[in-house]
Amino acid sequence: MTSKRNILVTGGAGFIGSHLVERLLAEDKWRVTVVDDFNDFYAPALKRANVAPHVGRDDYELVEADIRDRVAMERVFAATARFDCVVHLAARAGVRPSLVEPFLYAETNITGTLNLLECARQRHVPQFVFGSSSSVYGINAKVPFSEDDPIRQTISPYAATKAAGEMLCHTYAHLHDLRCVALRFFTVYGARQRPDLAIHKFAKLISRGQPIPVFGDGTTRRDYTYVEDIIAGVRAAIDYTASDYEAINLGESRTVELRELIALLERELGRKAVIDRQPMQPGDVPQTFADISKARRLLGYDPQTQIEEGVRRFVAWFNTQGMKDEG
């Protein structure tokens, strides 16, 4: 019988992380260690519910720790003979909150990432997958966004910290023989989505008959990507070996206007939205749109879920589980 490989997933109690952990455990060839600090950015109880099905398994370990704590991270790495891969998804997320707490975002997303890269270097981890963001493209006027586009026009502290994380990954790949794959996620949604994100937040407000805040005239556009498609891309990146460093877009390769998204939610929820018009927010980009040709070529990435089907699946989950969440 082949021995199981060791993998560390930071942020493994969160939205994307918990879906990845489910996928890895279902394969039955991984020993998964999750690091999560269960901070109060949104209700910790939601994240605890995400990990509850796995606690007690022989092939699963949960470590409650903060990636900013270098000593704690060194202990995590020392407790395992060697991780075959680190998937680093833990971060302070969100554009608007980063405008309020830029130091917290820098400490978590830059120093925390550096702590993990340094631990990986010291312990000779061969593979490091970094969860980056489409926010790094900032006010890029060229669409769709390509990995070859410069990322010098970030317009929020969050975006700047993600760009810095990518640069740290490139540096460690160049200096220390640590293969790094930076995945630029484009507006991920699906079951267990964070309650602060638009689709989940709007569904909750519409279902209650409460106004939804719409910033601008509703024509901002996003490349919404269903979580199962994102997980397929992350899983492929874990096995990627063809080069030492890559930045790769993971999107759906279609851009959807906010007002179209609201109409889809209205249809699936069977209720009309009450719109609360507000001015555009500092740090928000007018559109995101992924060129995924590189992901197709290097990772065999092939997203399957169009926004209409994805919203239908999300609302099905929301009607059975999401409405219970008060996060």
Q: Which tens digits make up the pLDDT trace of 37-65?
A: 999 999 999 999 999 999 999 999 999 99
- Rounded CA gap, 247 and 176, in Å? 18
Q: How far apart are CA 240 and CA 297, in angstroms?
A: 12
Terminus-to-terminus CA distance in the chain, angstroms? 43
Percentage of the chain beyond pLDDT 90 is 87
Q: Which of 214, 212, 326, 219 is nearest to 269 (CA)?
A: 212
Write out pLDDT tens, residues 210-240: 999 998 888 889 999 999 999 999 999 999 9
Tokens at 76, concatenated: 């995590």
Q: Pairing relation of β-strands 60-64 and 30-36?
A: parallel
Condensed to tens digits (0 to 9), the pLDDT of residues 264-285 reads 999 999 999 999 998 888 878 8
At residue 18, the pLDDT reads 98
Give which of 95, 88, 75, 48 is closest to 178, Cα–Cα: 88
**Amino acid, res. 139:** I
Say if residue 141 is exposed, middle or buried (CB neighbours under 10 Å; 0-12, 13-18, 19+): exposed
Place of tokens 């699906």: 190
CB 181 within 8 Å of CB 129: yes
Give the pLDDT confidence score for residue 134 in this predicted structure: 96
Strand (E) or helix (H) holding 215: strand 211-215
Give which of 53, 71, 18 is closest to 191, Cα–Cα.
18
Q: Is 144 helix (H, G, I), strand (E, B) or coil?
A: coil
Closest CA to 266 of 187, 205, 176: 205
**Whole-number pLDDT of residue 327:** 42
Whole-prediction pTM value? 0.95
- 158 a catalytic residue: yes
pLDDT digits (tens, 9 = 90+) for 156-209: 999 999 999 999 999 999 999 999 999 999 999 999 999 999 999 999 999 999
Long-range pairs for 47-56 at CB < 8 Å and ≥24 separation?
A: 47/13, 47/14, 47/18, 48/13, 50/13, 50/14, 50/15, 50/18, 50/192, 51/12, 51/13, 51/18, 51/21, 54/21, 54/25
Catalytic site residue from 42, 60, 137, 158:
158
Is the pLDDT at 323 greater than 70? The verdict is no
Res 31: pLDDT: 97
| CA separation for the pair 72, 78 (Å, rounded) | 10
Angstrom distance (rounded) from CA 320 to CA 70: 40
Query: 5-186+226-253+284-303: CATH homologous superfamily?
Result: NAD(P)-binding Rossmann-like Domain (3.40.50.720)
DSSP state, 322?
G
